[in-house]
Amino acid sequence: MSDQWDAGRLDSDLEGVGFDTLAVRAGQYRTPEAEHSDPLFFTSSYVFRTAADAAARFAGETPGNVYSRYTNPTVRAFEERLAALEGAEQAVGTSTGMSAILSTVMALCSAGDHVLVSQSVFGSTISLFEKYFKRFGVQVDYVPLADLSGWERGIKANTKLLFVESPSNPLAELVDIAALAEIAHARGAMLVVDNCFSTPALQQPLKLGADIVVHSATKFIDGQGRCMGGAVAGRSEQMKEVVGFLRTAGPTLSPFNAWVFLKGLETLKLRMRAHCEGAKALAQWLEQQEGVEKVHYAGLASHPQHELAKRQMSDFGAVVSFEVKGGKDGAWRFIDATRLLSITANLGDSKTTITHPATTSHGRLSPQEREAAGIRDSLIRIAVGLEDVADLQADLARGLAAL
């Protein structure tokens, strides 16, 4: 963009506006073409007026783009919009949700640092900590998610980060984020919250006291199962370190994927409202079915943390897990009998998905690790999409008939 270009009235005044307005307008700075929609910048590099201009850009003495591994206008728009929705000073786009976690730990931790991780995190997250971070000297221990006294006991003098998913995948367990943030800060540690299941439309961990939020934008932020990406959001002081890691190591977000996520953010709150309505209806229905032994959904009054969920979330999310009779064989018969739901481990899609966590998303964990995380062979997870709830119930009834 030309230094002489001034969009003036063409850019929106966002002072004091609400969440829905930020979701469709934050982060957009119009080019001299005066486009209404967000532009897509397909370019790997950028040109400079003079050699001195290039040197100043590379040295960080003047603002502007240098190389799309570092910055890209479309990616920047996504980052600024997500930061506005999360209430963060800065957000950083990454190539996947897992690279968001990788970038956070690599940027903020060193060999000899200690990280406390919830037992109730995504299977690949456990693998990342166990197989790779430990190899490079990061000490890792695990704590039951909701056990605040366990978190307090687990913190050491060298503890750098506490890492949680809340709600967790796939059991919808929660932790009191505000209370855990107080525990972390009292001992000089930072709290990182994976906010993938809730998105900022339902929960804003930074406003509850967390230091950093990570996302798999692949999920609800996209909303239609099209692209992969992630994000890290928090204070600029920490995000500067994350940017430095991305600039060097390169797990950066594609401009095209960032553009897709910008479109996803525009409808995020509307979609999450519909997802939540469908999930709650199905959870209540499943709880009444004879072949279902237990339903895990924080929106149910029977959920042990239902009151906590009401305090720190505006709604209860789209993921419902339930245990069926017959163990693994029963779960597989149930899944195979469905004809509408998509058998896939992804979630956050407009299409409802169904999966068997013990042999898919958490299949690389040992039986002991799965047991500690509460992932039983009888467990089925559905991520509720945007179809008619009656049609979803009819398909789940096929699964129940197969038990």
Q: Which residue has the higher pLDDT, 402 or 12?
A: 402
Average pLDDT over residues 49-55: 96
Identify the band that residue 10 occupies on the pLDDT scale cut at 50, 70 and 90.
confident
Q: How far apart are the first and last CA of the chain?
A: 62
| pLDDT (tens digit per residue) in 140-153 | 999 999 999 999 99
> What's the CA gap between 292 and 331, in Å, rounded?
10
> What's the CA gap between 150 and 165, in Å, rounded?
16
Percent of the chain with pLDDT over 90: 89
Predicted confidence at residue 82, as pLDDT, reads 98
Predicted confidence at residue 256, as pLDDT, reads 98
Predicted confidence at residue 346, as pLDDT, reads 92
Which position has the token pair 């704590």? 143
Identify the band that residue 7 occupies on the pLDDT scale cut at 50, 70 and 90.
confident
| pLDDT (tens digit per residue) in 179-203 | 999 999 999 999 999 999 999 999 9
Residue 81 structure tokens: 């919009």
Residue of 219, 174, 230 whose CA lies nearest to 353: 219
- Of 33-37, 88-92, 155-159, least confident by mean pLDDT is 33-37
Is 359 a residue whose pLDDT tops 90? yes
Predicted confidence at residue 2, as pLDDT, reads 46
Mean pLDDT of all residues belonging to the chain: 95
Predicted confidence at residue 4, as pLDDT, reads 62
> What's the CA gap between 383 and 379, in Å, rounded?
13
| pLDDT (tens digit per residue) in 278-307 | 999 999 999 999 999 999 999 999 999 999
Identify the band that residue 367 occupies on the pLDDT scale cut at 50, 70 and 90.
confident
Predicted confidence at residue 1, as pLDDT, reads 41
DSSP of 239-304, one letter per residue?
HHHHHHHHHHH--BPPHHHHHHHHHHHHTHHHHHHHHHHHHHHHHHHHTT-TTEEEEE-TTSTTST
CB 78 within 8 A of CB 135: no
The residues, ordered by sequence, that sit 6+ positions from 217 with a Cβ below 8 Å of its Cβ are: 93, 97, 227, 228, 229, 230, 231, 257, 261, 264
Is 365 a residue whose pLDDT tops 80? no
Identify the band that residue 3 occupies on the pLDDT scale cut at 50, 70 and 90.
low
| pLDDT (tens digit per residue) in 165-180 | 999 988 989 999 999 9
Average pLDDT over residues 56-71: 93
The residues, ordered by sequence, that sit 6+ positions from 33 with a Cβ below 8 Å of its Cβ are: 39
> What's the CA gap between 315 and 117, in Å, rounded?
25
Is 9 a residue whose pLDDT tops 90? no
